[in-house]
Amino acid sequence: MRIARWLLGRGPEHSGLIIGNDASGKTTMLYKLKLGEIVTTIPTIGFNVETLEYPDGGKITLWDVGGCDKIRPLIRHYMQPDRFLIFIQSCGDLDPDRIEFSLEYLRMGLAMMADQGCRHMFILFNKQDLLPPNERDSIIKGIRAQIETEIAPYLGNHDIRILDYPGLCATSGEQLYPAMEEIRQTIQQIKKPAQPDTKAQVAELEKGPSDTELIERVKKANADAVDAESFWTSFIDGSLDSWDHYTHLRAGFFVLHDCFAGGFGLLECADEFMAHLNRLRQGNPERFRNTAHKTMTIFWLHQIQIAAVNYQVSNGRDKFPDRGEYAEIALSAPWLMNSGLWRSYYSKDMLFTPKARENWHLPDLQPLPTPAQAKVEEEQPNTQRPGNDVDRLPRFAFSVVQKTLTSKLRRGGVVKQALEALQSSTIRLRASDPSVSPYSETQAYFWIQIVHAYLRSLETEPPKASKGTQFEGSVTTLTFEAFKALFDITGDEWRQYYSPSVWQGIPARMSFVNPDKKALPNVFGMPSKAKIDLARSQMVNAVSRRFTKPSGLPPREDLDFWAAVLIDEAKLIPEEELIVESHASLLRFLYQRLSKPSEEKSSTVAARTALELSSSMGSTQSMFWVQQVQLCLASGKMASTFEEFVTANAHLAYEDLPLVYYSPQLWQSAEVKEVYVPPDRHSLSSIVSSGK
């Protein structure tokens, strides 16, 4: 139950699970209490989580647990002794089989209460508005009698209350708030057993060095340290004078910097760091004795990144600190020198297991720390209008060329889809903003060609004399800002090839017109070392910002383009074949499975689909994508084919969509593969948006 220990939260607020069969009104109840309004929902196949906040400062966190029978095995992961349960009995479905199905859920909840030591359950009769007024009392009395029979064996050890609120209806809110207030008053009177302070307990058992001692250690290590260039050279060739905790962390920061410059995130940095350690150990096993431990490596790299970002924010900087600033970073975060820091986050039972050694596991004592945030007034929001954005076409072309390098489609087909997507997007933008330049096929194709030529130059083998100026890294991970820095892109490059009259002419809008000054090149020269260094710095800052300020969705024209490419990619894969590694194949499978008419309830189909996929892609991952497709199917947009569905919901083609909601550290952990884990960036819910 380590996952639940901090997923559900500890502290003064109370936490409860809402259970009941599918369509009993659990999600409607949750969002009526949270938002005070009626919402359209899809069947919950995982969990919806919301915290109700009250004027007196009290908080109640409620977990709406999907009611499909396929979800039952997952509920046990979220039960804890200090949780309470709310069981919802629907009065809208009086079929004997459905009532029996609901009672099975009640039995499951009762059994889990007994097993986990939970004390309180509250039972509500929802959808009473659907009962004939003259029969309501007798119908509820009959269902109540069955429920009383089920709960009778548990009353000696548990407080189980059937709340009598005639007319209760979650949709309208009738009697809902009084019922919730009774629940709140009851649980507030519970004297919770004193919870041991985990941090204090760990500190007592494993007392680390004092702050003063840690600062002195940092100062001494800084004084003995060589300069950044010498340190990196000795780390690469294995000639380090010592391999103590300080040196280990400094090497981690340097590897972090190097990987960020290549466009890789923290988890990829951990793999690179462990590869370095294996190399060092093979060269000098006596000095470099550390064995590879993935969880420990990621833990320390995370702590280093936190320290670096906090140093950056505290100094009002907009750039991630460079390698030469490690001494100042260490002095600003002396806790890094506590080699036993992990004890505040991991139990030994968790950390020293083969699983934690081989895979990334989240802490079981408390969540990882989050970085400091810059003050709102220091942030510079992007308020530039599309009509004034000189980077719009170069940025789009850059995205297109990167896609041609990763797609299995022919380049010509990808470019054709790109031009069509850009044309549609331009027409849409001009309808609301006339300052946007008209679509020009010549301008669009020029930028695609010129960007392709620039990127090809990065893959060209430089002369031996210029080896030191070679760009290292994949062009597919390059950011647009770094690309601009590499080639000093200004947006006026077209003037070298076109006269203004041809560039802006009507014929150039209709179809591609060849340059009238000089032909377009196939490749450019390798950028200078200064420009490569500047681009690497841009990459480091971009990757760091993804950690501190995750971005939302890309521009609409990019999404439309990716959607069109995805549709074509799906055509290359046989319909009867599912390849979960292929985003196109996965989306087509989900669309066909979830949109197909079925005698089964949609929640059953969705849950079965998510659980079927969980073995190959993880529980949270499968539930995320199933829910995204569900929401789009329920949004009301008419789509009779997969192609129409993707076109109408182009954001689904964005493969990094999960990272809008989840941090990479959470999304790629072993825990999210085992059970459903809620997002840590933006919440997900079963509410159907009417604004899509």
Residues 578-612: tens digit of each pLDDT: 998 999 999 999 999 999 887 777 777 888 898 89
Distance CA 512, CA 491 (A): 19
20 appears as a binding residue in the annotation: yes
157 appears as a binding residue in the annotation: no
State the first-to-last Cα distance of the chain, in angstroms, to the nearest integer: 38
126 appears as a binding residue in the annotation: yes
List, in order of start, the domains of the chain with CATH numbers.
Answer: 2-188 (3.40.50.300), 200-375 (no CATH), 386-548 (no CATH), 556-674 (no CATH)
Which is nearest to 140 in space by CA: 178, 187, 175, 186? Answer: 175
129 appears as a binding residue in the annotation: yes
27 appears as a binding residue in the annotation: yes
Instruction: Give the pLDDT of residue 71.
Output: 52
**77 has pLDDT over 70:** no
**640 has pLDDT over 70:** yes
Instruction: Give the pLDDT of residue 10.
Output: 43
22 appears as a binding residue in the annotation: yes
β-strands 120-126, 84-90: how paired?
parallel
Instruction: Give the pLDDT of residue 56.
Output: 82
Q: Which two structure tokens, joined as six digits, stand for 456?
A: 């090809």
Distance CA 93, CA 90 (A): 6
51 appears as a binding residue in the annotation: no
**207 has pLDDT over 60:** no
25 appears as a binding residue in the annotation: yes
26 appears as a binding residue in the annotation: yes
128 appears as a binding residue in the annotation: yes
Residues whose CB falls within 8 Å of the CB of residue 189, separated by 6 or more in sequence, listed in order: none
Instruction: Give the pLDDT of residue 11.
Output: 40
Instruction: Give the pLDDT of residue 639.
Output: 80
Beta bridge partners of 17: 63, 85
Measured CA distances, 203 to 93, 198, 207 (Å): 54, 8, 5
Q: Which two structure tokens, joined as six digits, stand for 374?
A: 């810059």
Instruction: Give the pLDDT of residue 689.
Output: 57
Q: Please compute the mean of the pLDDT values over residues 356-364 and round it to a whole number.
A: 93
67 appears as a binding residue in the annotation: yes
**69 has pLDDT over 70:** no
